[in-house]
Amino acid sequence: MTAVEDPRPLCFVLMPFGTKPDPGSNVTIKFDAIYQEVIRPAIEAAGLKAIRADEERVGGIIHKPMFERLILCDFAVADLTTANANVYYELGIRHAMRPWSTILIFADGIRLPFDLGPVRGLAYHLDPAGNPAAATADRDELAEQLRAARSEVTDSPLFQLLDNLPHPDISRLKTDVFREQVEYSDALRQRLAEARRQGVEAVRAIRDELGDLRNYESGVLVDLLLSFRDVSAWDDMVTLVEQLPAALARTVLLREQYGLALNRDGQGGKAEEVLLTLIRDRGPSSETYGILGRVYKDRYEAALAAGQQVLARGLLAKAIDAYVKGFESDWRDAYPGINAVQLMELSEPPDRRQAELLTVITYSVKRRIESTQPDYWDYATLLELAVLGNDPEQVRHVLPLALAANPQHWQVESTLETIRRLRKVREARGTLPDWLTEAEHALAEAAGAS
């Protein structure tokens, strides 16, 4: 596959290293030879990329990258020979997080522990010296089982026993962070970054080049989806999600992004259905409710523009409710909170909850600024909160910090649009202070100079 550096789905290998004696026999097993002659060739024959567990440990705890690969890799092979404690521990984590796509292997003739006795596995063959005795046949059988694992048949005893156990969502990381969690082609990542700078046609060209999406691991596909989002190609996002492997499309991350794309593509009703179903399935989250609030907000603005005042009031109330629920589900995430109090300002009369929420959201944003490296949005959010709270001293303090954070033109424009909307509300109520006009003029000047 040209111009793409090894984008195959990842297969994580859990096994002992080096040469180890088998406690149940007199054989000393050459595990490195088993990996090189049986396991790795089988994984490659199945169209996957092998990643072997890092042997290094710190204080008995597996490194964080090992946990990430263990959970996030699409496939796994676990060698149970010698009843290695690390392998069994890692297998337990894998079975708890992944309903399918884990293949168990072991040396022919060994006895598995009682709990794994009923579990189906593949026996490979050793000679008296502990080397592979039938490497070709064992390799071919393992490759066939890995190919069959693409069908997503449940192989975890936990999920086999508990039919109604919810499948853990392995991608419940923040949207823009998730793309960095799975190892995939640096060359492709760089090409997608460059394509985002060039525009939608460049991203589409990479999508067309990839062909069958089932041949790529999740990180590649998520990065492609987010690249379409970054160039505002909403219809391409919708199409891509509907073409993704079912297991990936079911994740919270993908369902949230699907709802976002549907809404921006003019399919607000379907977006609402997708997001409400996600909330019923997975419970509330600030991200899901934040996107749902945007769906209602857009419909509110459309109804208002069409002169449908009664409908607009109902949609405004639904948008506020969604944003409040989003903020209440995670007080650390100010995004749904700031949107809630902004919309409360538009209510007639203003929502009485606004004053109380302003205090909590302001504290949340200030804690974030103190504990992390703040960016433009942190200061812009504080600015909007100060305007809503009628705090001119805070407005004059925060506005220079926001403009000094090197914002992009569209970021300043977004804040300016919010401030203009608030100014119009205050103006209509006859309460337009000079400091608000000054803030608007400063933002407009910065936006023009960006």
At 49 the pLDDT is 87
Distance set, CA 338 to CA 92, 326, 364 (Å): 42, 11, 11
Amino acid 56: pLDDT = 38
3 CB-side CA count, 13 A:
10
- CATH second-level architecture of 10-161? 3-Layer(aba) Sandwich (3.40)
Q: Measured at the alpha carbon of residue 376, what is the angle toward residues 201 and 200, in degrees to the nearest 5? A: 5
**What pLDDT is recorded for position 379?**
94
Task: Note down pLDDT in tens along the chain; length 450 residues.
Answer: 333 445 678 899 999 888 888 776 677 899 999 999 999 999 999 999 888 864 433 333 344 556 767 777 889 999 998 888 888 888 998 988 888 899 999 998 777 766 665 567 899 999 988 899 999 999 999 999 999 998 888 888 788 888 777 776 655 444 443 334 444 455 777 888 899 999 999 999 999 988 888 777 677 788 899 999 999 999 999 999 999 887 788 888 899 999 999 999 999 999 999 999 999 998 999 999 999 999 999 999 999 999 999 999 999 999 999 999 999 998 888 889 999 999 999 888 878 899 999 999 999 899 888 877 888 999 999 999 999 999 999 999 999 999 999 888 889 998 999 999 899 988 888 888 899 999 999 999 998 754
CA distances from 147 to 75, 141, 142 (A): 10, 10, 9
Beta strands in 59-158 (DSSP E): 75-79, 102-107, 122-124
To the question of pTM greater than 0.75 for the whole model, the response is no
83 HSE (CA, 13 A, CB side)? 12
Tell me how far apart the alpha carbons of residues 254 and 231 are, in angstroms, rounded to a whole number.
Answer: 17
Pairing relation of β-strands 10-14 and 75-79?
parallel
Distances (CA, A) of 252 to 101, 228, 249, 320, 351: 20, 18, 8, 22, 31
What's the pLDDT score for residue 147?
A: 93
Domain ranges, ordered by start, for the chain: 10-161, 169-280, 284-350, 373-450
Amino acid (one-letter) located at 247? A
Residue with tokens 């640096």: 186
- DSSP secondary structure string, 313-376? HHHHHHHHHHHHHHHHH-TT-HHHHHHHHHHHHHSSSPPTTHHHHHHHHHHHHHHHHHHS---H
pLDDT at position 28 is 83
C-alpha to C-alpha distance for 209 and 212, rounded to whole angstroms: 9
